[in-house]
Amino acid sequence: MSGPRARLLLICVAALLLAAALTPAARAAEGAAQLVPATLTVSSASQTVTYPGRATLSGAVSVAGVPLALLRQRAGDAGWTPLHTLVAGPDGAFSLRVAPPANTDYKLAFAGDAGHGAAEATVTVYVRPHVTTDFRPSLWLGGSVTLRGSVAPAHTEGAVVIERFVDGAWQALATTPLDVASNYAYRWTPSTFGYARLRARMEADAGHVAGRSAASRVIVNRPNAHDVPYKFAHYIVIVVREYRLYYYEHGEMVRAFSVALGRPGFPTPLGRFHIYGKRRPAGGPLGACAMFYRPSGGIAIHGTDQPWLLSRFPRPFSHGCARMHNNQALWLYYRCPVGTTVHNFR
């Protein structure tokens, strides 16, 4: 065969061969064009957790009941690490719990199937370190205390900032390094008495956001003759051998009074007690008022109907109570609520 017919036959054969060669790619392109795009979402109920806390990841995929791969990438990792596979519910929803030790990206991935394209979504969970404190709650002005604590997870490097709350704001008191066991310690010698609110804070690093401890209250007591702690708003000291009563507010002696105390056979009790009842006027030997502090025997601090006895020394004239001039007893009565400590020394 020659001529035009032969040339036409050759053209047809070449066209058929070309169509056959293009069919697989064309079919693949046509199949891909027919896949339904899948959607996948994921979020964390808590964007930041305190170590060793857990975060709940939840979301949904547009294809029900399909397997989803969970991968993670911690701060400093070079790539994604597969963890496990979970299966979406009948409505495509899923939920899982994670406990990251450091800032971590989590990826949920759907590989696709015969009718759906692949999809993936990521979420980041940030981790703040758990900073603890072990601060001695009370010391005397002029003394020192070691402020110590720890950080978890373990940090072999880094430092902790100890802060004090002053004038409505947290101010740095000291910066102290962490040791190899992730502990810290700082020796503090306060320069003023009163309440000190302290906490420890660790700055953010490559693997964690900043973390801080709960605030701790440290009481710095002011020195006084009877070691009365600063925390007591009202405190009474009776020194029996002196026949004296001392009244303190927050560790500061406000006033001292001469008193008559127990006669032979009726000693004034020693030890710590608390005012449990008050009466005004008290009347009779109790004078203008009375504050009862020991139920057994009805021992009280009270006024008197024999004020001349208070001009003598020693003054062992009562049945164990502390007798005072009426105006002084009233002054004390109005300042000391029920519950006030009464501490009697020999």
Question: Which residue do the tokens 């029996």 mark?
Answer: 240
Element spanning 11, H or E: helix 4-34
Q: What are phi and psi of 23, to 5 degrees?
A: -60, -45
Average pLDDT of the chain, as a whole number: 92
Delineate the domains of the chain, giving CATH numbers in brackets.
40-127 (2.60.40.10), 130-221 (2.60.40.10), 235-345 (2.40.440.10)
Mean predicted confidence (pLDDT) in 95-101: 97
Single out the residue of 125, 195, 116, 198 nearest to residue 164, CA to CA.
198
If one counts every other C-beta atom within 10 angstroms of the C-beta of residue 292, the result is 22
Q: What are phi and psi of 310, to 5 degrees?
A: -75, -10
pLDDT in the model for residue 14: 40
Percent of the chain with pLDDT over 70: 90
pTM for the whole thing? 0.77
- pLDDT single digits (tens) 188-226: 999 999 999 999 999 999 999 999 999 999 999 999 999
- pLDDT single digits (tens) 261-287: 999 999 999 999 999 999 999 999 999
If one counts every other C-beta atom within 10 angstroms of the C-beta of residue 191, the result is 8
Please calculate the CA angle 37-38-44 and round it to the nearest 5 degrees: 145
**Cis peptide leading into 67, omega within 30 of 0?**
no
Residue 145 pairs in a beta bridge with 188
- pLDDT single digits (tens) 221-264: 999 999 999 999 999 999 999 999 999 999 999 999 999 999 99
Q: What are phi and psi of 5, to 5 degrees?
A: -65, -40
CA atoms lying within 13 Å on the CB side of residue 303: 19
Rounded Cα–Cα distance for residues 278 and 293 (Å): 9
